[in-house]
């Protein structure tokens, strides 16, 4: 099972059967919900009954520059050049071997330049900016909303009907959607080994050794 909006990043899959049902999927290249013909069985989760259902499920997919949406291409040639491409499924820059010629523009010298160009800066979803609204009924249901002033997810009592979209069943779901927005990307330290001497650090990466004083 794919969590949250990740089903929207799957490639369209009509399934193996012979039916012809109108469905909608999220196209990661055009970054829009589009119609397709579903065969009626199997396929994957990027399959919605209506345009609005697709849009609602996939609205959190951030906009990505066009070259970053291209599939990885190793190109031609016999060179072994380590490069990075932006993976639309994982939303991360990943290493691959480039042959030295041709390929496409989704190819960067290092992870940092790839992430700075391709990975979107998070912005607060519009629904998180809606004002607190308890609704118009008489129930007393514990819910959470995002307070844009305090930048915190806070409790409130929901009446059971109406209200705004800024309404979450748990603090964690509120945090996942709203409170995590805006945090800058920090590169992960992977594939590096450090050994500390008395006053120097040896950093080994990609078969090269560099020394740095501490």
Residue 54 resides in a domain: yes
Shared domain for 105 and 147, answered yes or no, is no
The pLDDT value recorded for residue 75 is: 94
Domain check: are 148 and 114 in the same one? no
Global confidence as pTM: 0.45
Tell me the residue range of the domain where 17 lies: 4-58
Give a yes or no: residue 28 inside a domain. Answer: yes
71 and 112 part of one domain? yes
CATH number at residue 173: 4.10.410.10
DSSP string over the chain: ---GGGGGGSPP---SS---EEEEEEETTTTEEEEEEE-SS---S--BSSHHHHHHHHTTSPP--GGGGSPP---BSS--EEEEEEETTTTEEEEEEE-SB---S--BSSHHHHHHHHSPPP---GGGGSPP---SSS--EEEEEEETTTTEEEEEEE-SS---S--BSSHHHHIIIIITTTPPP-----S-EEEE-SSEEEEEETTEEEEEE-
| pLDDT in the model for residue 82 | 96
- pLDDT computed for residue 124 by the predictor: 66
- What is the structure's pLDDT at 5? 65
pLDDT in tens, the chain (214 residues): 344 567 888 889 999 999 999 999 998 878 889 999 999 999 999 999 999 899 888 877 777 888 898 889 999 999 999 999 998 877 789 999 999 999 999 999 999 999 888 877 655 676 787 889 999 999 999 999 988 778 889 999 999 999 988 899 999 888 888 876 545 445 445 443 443 444 444 444 444 444 444 4
Per the structure, how many domains does the chain have?
3
Chosen domain end from 58, 79, 97: 58
């Amino acid at each position: 099972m794919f969590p949250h909006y990740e089903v929207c990043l799957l490639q369209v899959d009509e399934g193996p059967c012979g039916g012809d049902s109108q469905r909608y999927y999220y196209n990661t290249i055009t970054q829009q919900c589009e119609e397709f013909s579903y065969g009626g069985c199997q396929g994957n989760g990027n399959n919605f009954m209506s345009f609005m259902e697709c849009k609602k499920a996939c609205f959190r997919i951030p906009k990505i520059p066009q070259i970053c949406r291209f599939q990885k291409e190793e190109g031609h040639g016999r060179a072994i050049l380590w490069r990075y491409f932006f993976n639309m499924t994982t939303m991360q820059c990943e290493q691959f071997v480039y042959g030295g010629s041709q390929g496409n523009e989704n190819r960067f010298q290092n992870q940092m330049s790839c992430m700075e160009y391709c990975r979107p800066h998070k912005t607060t979803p519009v629904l998180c900016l809606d004002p607190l609204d308890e609704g118009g009924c008489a129930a007393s249901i514990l819910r959470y909303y995002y307070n844009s002033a305090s930048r915190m997810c806070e409790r409130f009592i929901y009446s059971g009907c109406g209200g705004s979209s800024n309404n979450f069943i748990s603090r964690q779901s509120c945090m996942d959607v709203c409170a995590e927005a805006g945090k800058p990307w920090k590169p992960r330290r992977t594939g590096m080994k450090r050994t500390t001497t008395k006053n120097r650090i040896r950093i080994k990466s990609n078969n090269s050794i560099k020394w740095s004083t501490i």
